[in-house]
C-alpha cells in the first residue's frame, strides 16, 4: 500500500502538470499570501486536532517529519488548494472572455 507522500506527490504532480499544460497556473502575490495563510492555519488547526486526539496518522504511512504535530504530508492539501483554486478561477475568467 502506498504511503501518504507517494499519493500526495502523484496527485499533486498530475494536477499541477495538467494546469501548467493548460497555462492556468499563476504565482502572483495574492497566491503566495493565500498559500502562507492556508499553510499556517493548516499547521495550527491540524496540530490542535491531533493534540485533542480527534485523529491520528499511522506511523508506517508517513515520513515522520512534522510541523507542529501535523505530518508534513498533511500540508499538501492546503498547497494544492492554494494553487488549484486560482487556476480554476483563471480558467473560468478565460472562458468568460472568449
The domain ranges of the chain are: 4-97
With the CA atoms of 13, 19, 25 and 30 taken in that order, what torsion angle do they form, in degrees rounded to the nearest 10? -80
Q: What CA–CA distance (Å, rounded) separates 96 from 98? A: 6
Please count the other Cβ atoms lying within 10 Å of the Cβ belonging to residue 24: 19
Q: Give residue-wise pLDDT tens across range 8-19.
A: 999 999 999 999
pLDDT at 1: 56
Length of the chain, in residues: 98
pLDDT of 20 higher than 80: yes
Q: What CA–CA distance (Å, rounded) separates 75 from 38? A: 9
Q: Give residue-wise pLDDT tens across range 43-92.
A: 999 999 999 999 999 999 999 999 999 999 999 999 999 999 999 999 99
Whole-prediction pTM:
0.86
Amino acid at each position: 500500500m502506498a504511503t501518504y507522500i507517494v499519493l500526495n506527490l502523484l496527485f499533486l504532480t498530475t494536477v499541477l502538470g495538467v494546469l501548467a499544460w493548460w497555462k492556468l497556473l499563476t504565482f502572483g502575490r495574492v497566491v503566495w499570501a493565500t498559500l502562507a495563510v492556508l499553510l499556517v492555519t493548516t499547521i495550527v488547526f491540524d496540530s490542535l486536532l491531533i493534540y485533542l486526539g480527534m485523529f491520528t496518522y499511522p506511523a508506517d504511512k508517513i515520513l515522520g517529519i512534522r510541523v507542529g504535530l501535523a505530518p508534513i504530508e498533511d500540508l499538501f492539501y492546503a498547497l494544492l488548494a492554494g494553487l488549484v483554486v486560482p487556476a480554476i478561477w483563471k480558467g473560468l475568467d478565460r472562458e468568460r472572455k472568449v
